[in-house]
Amino acid sequence: MATVKSGDKIKVHYHGKLVSGETFDSSAGREPLAFEVGSGAVIKGFDDGVTGMAVGDKKTIQIPFLEAYGPHNPEMVIEMPKDRFPADMEVTIGMPLHMSDGQGRQFQVTVIEIKEEAVLLDANHPLAGKDLIFDLELVAIEGASPLIILP
């Protein structure tokens, strides 16, 4: 029976939860997640968790935050003066916003606090610093990408 190894293209159903039991993502009601194992398309702990599974296998994996989205970095919390926001914009806690850096790269931030003259924005991934639990079911292994060897 074939088992998942690095380079395989696979399809997997998943249910992602926090340690508290709160669901943060799930493939329920959607197509299974398709990706190439070891390509960096998913977090390291997820790649490691599917390795060795056979089609039809189900298992639960726990991924420590260091193998997921890393630690929460306090340096990625930004204080932005309120006058930098459009005057007609109603800013609320938990609101996701998009910003761009000096090189034009866009990234998402989340409003975490509203002060009298400023708004605190968190640019960390929403799951940074959190241990994750995934219930997995391997649906398909499609084999590795063809390798072209040149003379």
Domains of the chain, by residue range, sit at: 8-69+127-144, 74-122
Looking at CATH, the fold of the domain delimited by 74-122 is given as Thrombin, subunit H (2.40.10)
pLDDT at 33 over 70: yes
Centroid of chain to Cα 106: 17
* CATH code that applies to domain 8-69+127-144: 3.10.50.40
Q: What is the mean pLDDT of residues 54-80?
A: 95
Task: Classify residue 3 by its DSSP letter.
Answer: -
Q: Which band of pLDDT confidence, cut at 50, 70 and 90, is reported for residue 147?
A: low
**φ/ψ (deg, to 5) at 107:** -150, 155
Number of other residues whose CB lies within 10 A of the CB of residue 119: 21
pLDDT at 107: 87
pLDDT at 149 over 90: no
* Structure confidence by residue, pLDDT tens digits, 82-125: 999 998 999 999 999 998 877 888 889 999 999 999 999 999 99
Cβ-proximal residues to 74 (8 Å cutoff; 6+ apart), any chain: none
pLDDT at 130 over 90: yes
Q: Which band of pLDDT confidence, cut at 50, 70 and 90, is reported for residue 142?
A: confident
Return d(Cα 16, Cα 23) in angstroms, integer: 6
